[in-house]
Amino acid sequence: QLQLQESGPGLVKPSETLSLTCTVSGGSISNNNYLWVWIRQPPGKGLEWIGRIYYSGGTYYNPSLKSRVTISVDTSKNQFSVKLSSVTAADTAVYYCATLPKRYSGYDGFDYWGQGTLVTVSP
Partner 1 sequence: QSALTQPPAASGAPGQSVTISCTGTSNDVGVYNYVSWYQQHPGKAPKLMIYEVNKRPSGVPDRFSASKSGNTASLTVSGLQADDEADYFCGSYAGINNWVFGGGTKLTVL
The contact set with partner 1 (CB under 8 A) reads 45-49, 52, 60, 62-63, 96, 103, 105-111, 113-116
* Residue closer to partner 1 (CB basis): 46 or 123: 46
Q: Which residues contact 105 (CB under 8 A, 6 or more apart)?
A: none
* Residue closer to partner 1 (CB basis): 66 or 77: 66
Q: How far apart are CA 26 and CA 4, in angstroms?
A: 9
- End-to-end alpha carbon distance in the chain: 39
Residue 69 φ then ψ, to 5°: -115, 145
Question: How many Å separate Cα 52 from the centre of its chain?
Answer: 7
Residue 40: CB minimum distance to partner 1, A = 10
Residue 16: CB minimum distance to partner 1, A = 26
* Residue closer to partner 1 (CB basis): 109 or 123: 109
Task: Please choose, from the candidates 78, 106, 84, 89, the residue with its C-alpha nearest in 3D space to the C-alpha of residue 19.
Answer: 84
Residue 30: CB minimum distance to partner 1, A = 20
Residue 23: CB minimum distance to partner 1, A = 15
